[in-house]
Amino acid sequence: MPEYKLCDLDFVDLYVCLEGTAQPHYHKQVSSSSDGADMEVPQEYLEAVSQLTSFLRTKFVEEEMGLTFEGVRMRAAKVRTAGGFLWASLRKINSIPPALEKLGFIPQLVPHLRKLGKRTGMILLCGSTGQGKTTTCCSLLADYLNTLGGVAFTIEDPVEYDLEGRHGENGFCYQTEVREDEEWGKMLKRSMRWHPRYILVGELRTPETANQLLRAATTGHLTMTTMHAGTVEEALEGFLQLASQAIGEQAPILLSTGLTAVIHQTVTAHGLQAQFYITEPLNPASPFRNCVRERRIGQTRTFMDQQMSMLLQNGKIFKDGSA
């Protein structure tokens, strides 16, 4: 057995060459101390990675596979490059998502994120690649299941945290994976048969998925999903563009009704930076919702700034002091 084990290597993505002589390399988790830059595997871990590579050469038959090697759960995909090398990319599947307090949000915001578990609607997490969107989603879901109970159904590609099974005394999660884009909307529709309190869709990719998310969000479920976007405004506009392809002019109406919270997050060297807006639960005609309904997305920034200012001043997010 190698002295340094794979489980001790702090990686998120690991790349090994199955055919060729290229050196393995990896990405660390993006954090305040790491920007997720690509690095060669340290010399002391090469033996452990070599054993993993040998395992993959004999077991990796399909284009993608899930595996557990020396206690490390991973999702693997392979591709042959133009240079003739056969590479495998391995994404580590973490066992437990971090607690909400450990995500890096300002302390005043955490209680309000926790309260969202009692509501219905849609929580939209957005940001660029590698900014922890899925981690935040999974942490929220785990927190709600542990503290409030209920049934959750997740649809992911790939699974990044192990959420399957019992959470606390009254929570249970069914975790599923999809491979093709057209499967997202179909699986989301099928999830209704499980009568879930919570639905997590790992990434919003298709018009039908956006449609089904809005349907679920406006019929008594709390849904969560992620989107690639540079700002909250880009995320809202991007969501509307997708949903409009499936349901036309109904999209802004359903989004304004079903949106519970939208959060854009960025991991920097100084910590997590977040833009957000949490909608008022009993005010369907709020100015923010009206902007979404009338597709005046650019004007939502004013209300986000006002809510942040209020939160920093007195810990509240609504003018009536209800939260």
First to last CA, the chain: 55
Q: Is 210 helix (H, G, I), strand (E, B) or coil?
A: helix
Give me the CATH code for the 100-314 domain, please: 3.40.50.300
Q: Which residue's entry shows tokens 């390399």?
A: 25
Q: Which of 60, 67, 55, 53 shows the shortest CA–CA distance to 21?
A: 53
Task: Give residue limits of the domains in the chain.
Answer: 6-92, 100-314
Would you tell me how many other CB atoms lie within 10 Å of the CB of residue 155?
26
Q: Is the separation of the CB atoms in 297 and 291 below 8 Å?
A: yes
* Spatial separation of the C-alpha atoms in residues 179 and 77, rounded to whole Å: 12
- pLDDT for res 322: 62
- Tell me the H-state helices in the chain: 46-59, 110-115, 133-148, 181-191, 207-217, 232-247, 250-258, 287-293, 300-314
Cα angle, residue 155 at apex, residues 153 and 156 outer, rounded to 5°:
135
- Tell me the H-state helices in 69-160: 110-115, 133-148
**Residue range 237-260, pLDDT digits in tens:** 999 999 999 999 999 999 999 999
| Domain 100-314 in the same topology as domain 6-92 | no
**Residue range 190-211, pLDDT digits in tens:** 999 999 999 999 999 899 999 9
Q: What percent of the chain has pLDDT over 70?
A: 96
**Residue range 17-51, pLDDT digits in tens:** 999 889 999 998 655 444 568 899 999 999 999 99
How many CA atoms does the CB half-sphere of 75 hold within 13 Å? 14
Domain 6-92 has CATH 2.40.128: no
